[in-house]
Amino acid sequence: MIIRASFKHCGWLRALAPLVALALVGLATGCVGYRLGSALPGNIRRIHVPMFENRSQEPLIEADLTREVINALQRDATFQVVRPDQPADGTLKVVIQQFVLAPVGYQSGSHGRADTYRLTIVASFTLTDPSGKIVAQHPRVHGDTIAPLVGDLTSSKLAALPAAAQELARDIVDKLTETW
């Protein structure tokens, strides 16, 4: 009774209560189609990651990128990465599409000489089950980083590759493990 009497004197609170209730219902129903967690079937837990296919113009990057994605999957722990001779619930195939080094910063007074570059690696992936059925795929994942010119252009690529590889691995793992 005491609570009811205090609300009697607060007309604005009584008017606000239906709006708060409506907002809570809107939030609850607005999130009905969303869920947090993997969108993959629950039976996909052990995956094999073969060496990436490299269709870019940059040679010899597939081993570093494959290793970085395997490391990221192991850190995430959603999946157990298995060797080719072990049974797997799925196979993650990644194709490196592009490796682009583009200038983004220039030395002042040097007539347009670049001193900072953006390295972008673009790939696609497909996760298949043991029968070959596609479980998940994404046509475009990427990793990029901005790095200073270190010596020559080849040295700069090598110096920037680990950071871009980590970003690519993070994008692949995120797309595999998280869904809303």
Averaged pLDDT for residues 103-112:
80
Query: Is the predicted pLDDT of residue 170 greater than 80, yes or no?
Result: yes
- pLDDT, tens digit (0-9, with 9 covering 90-100), for 70-102: 999 999 999 999 999 999 999 999 999 999 999
Residue 85 within a domain: yes
Residue 58 within a domain: yes
Q: According to DSSP H, which parts of the chain are helical?
A: 2-8, 11-30, 62-76, 153-177
- Its domain, for residue 124, covers 46-177
The three-point CA angle 130-135-141 to 5° equals: 120
What does the pLDDT read at residue 153?
A: 86
Structure tokens given for 55: 């269709």
What does the pLDDT read at residue 32?
A: 44
Q: Say if residue 113 is in the same domain as residue 28.
A: no
Residue 41 within a domain: no
- pLDDT, tens digit (0-9, with 9 covering 90-100), for 117-156: 999 999 999 999 999 999 999 999 999 999 998 888 888 8
Q: Say if residue 73 is in the same domain as residue 17.
A: no
What does the pLDDT read at residue 22?
A: 59
CA torsion, ordered 160, 162, 168, 172, to nearest 10 deg: 180
Question: Comparing C-alpha atoms, which of 52, 54, 56, 79 is closest to residue 66?
Answer: 52
Q: Say if residue 99 is in the same domain as residue 139.
A: yes
Amino acid present at 136:
A
Residue 39 within a domain: no
Question: Comparing C-alpha atoms, which of 101, 103, 99 is closest to residue 112?
Answer: 103
What does the pLDDT read at residue 180?
A: 42
Residues 6 or more apart in contact with residue 163 via CB below 8 angstroms: 119, 145, 147
